[in-house]
């Protein structure tokens, strides 16, 4: 039977594991396996079982020391500061673009360079994603080595549809940019920057979007 659940991220950048709380019990949930699903077919990530290891409160304290004392006011302040910084950078970029016509320096005249840069970006993104999903040393902290199967869904269907749409959009944009680069329709460096960010977003959607702590979940542990 599915019960209300809560997900917390580990304090360090760790894409492989999340903390899951179900019925007052904490688990270390492995959300980044199997790779084929979580990387390339994230739409099915809710429909496959994930491994989870039961944790004691002491183990939770070691893995995420501040998980019991989240300061929402501090987090809100940080988010506001990030928003102001992003706005400032955006305004500065617009002013610089008007003062200096940098667009003429962004064009790549060589088709070979254009294609090579695209391949390097894709290789870099996949390599970075694999490196971030290693999750080394996590199971050494957990005393219970017996994995349990966990099915974890968002509690609201409309949120599932929104998540699926966002991920599909990221995939379509990535394919469209690769198509433009392959045909050399617009040899501009901006396309490579967008490809870098959007392709990484798609590959990490299973962790960043599908299992985001801001979403309420329901989970079943077997």
| Residue 220 φ then ψ, to 5° | -130, 125
> What is the Rg, in whole angstroms, of the alpha carbon atoms belonging to the chain?
21
Angular region, 128: left φ>0, alpha ψ -120 to 50, beta rest? alpha
pLDDT of residue 124: 94
Cis bond before residue 34 (omega within 30° of 0) = yes
Report the alpha-carbon angle 203-208-209, nearest 5.
Answer: 95
The encoded tokens of residue 216 equal 């309420």
**Closest of 63, 195, 196, 204 to residue 131, by C-alpha:** 204
Quickly tell me which residue has 């004691």 as its tokens.
56
Q: What is the pLDDT of residues 160-200, one digit of tens each?
A: 888 888 899 999 999 998 988 888 776 677 888 889 999 99
Q: What is the pLDDT of residues 36-92, one digit of tens each?
A: 899 999 989 999 999 999 998 888 888 887 776 653 443 443 345 445 444 554 555
Q: What is the pLDDT of residues 109-168, one digit of tens each?
A: 677 888 888 999 999 999 999 888 887 667 677 888 888 999 998 988 777 888 888 899
Predicted model pTM: 0.75
Question: Could you write out the DSSP letters of every residue in 129-197?
Answer: HHHHT--TTHHHH-S----EEEEEEES-HHHHHHHHHHHHHHHHHHHHHHHHHHTTSS-BHHHHHHHHH
Pairing state between β 25-30 and 17-22: antiparallel
């Amino acid at each position: 039977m599915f019960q209300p659940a809560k997900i917390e991220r580990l304090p360090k950048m760790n894409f492989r594991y999340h903390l899951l709380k179900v019925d007052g019990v904490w688990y270390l949930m492995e959300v980044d396996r199997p790779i084929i699903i979580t990387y390339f077919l994230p739409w099915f990530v809710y429909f496959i079982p994930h491994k989870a290891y039961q944790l004691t409160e002491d183990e939770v304290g070691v893995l995420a020391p501040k998980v019991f004392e989240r300061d929402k006011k501090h987090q809100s302040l940080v988010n506001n500061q990030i928003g102001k910084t992003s706005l400032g950078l955006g305004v500065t970029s617009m002013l610089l673009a008007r003062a200096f016509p940098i667009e003429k320096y962004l064009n790549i005249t060589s088709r070979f360079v254009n294609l090579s840069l695209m391949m390097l970006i894709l290789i870099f993104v996949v390599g970075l994603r694999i490196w971030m999903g290693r999750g080394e040393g996590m199971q050494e902290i957990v005393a219970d080595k017996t994995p349990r199967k966990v099915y974890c869904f968002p509690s609201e269907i409309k949120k599932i549809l929104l998540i699926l749409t966002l991920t599909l959009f990221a995939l379509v944009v990535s394919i469209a940019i690769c198509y433009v680069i392959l045909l050399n329709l617009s040899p501009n460096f901006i396309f490579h920057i967008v490809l870098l960010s959007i392709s990484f977003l798609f590959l990490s959607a299973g962790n960043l979007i599908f299992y985001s702590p801001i979403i309420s979940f329901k989970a079943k542990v077997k």
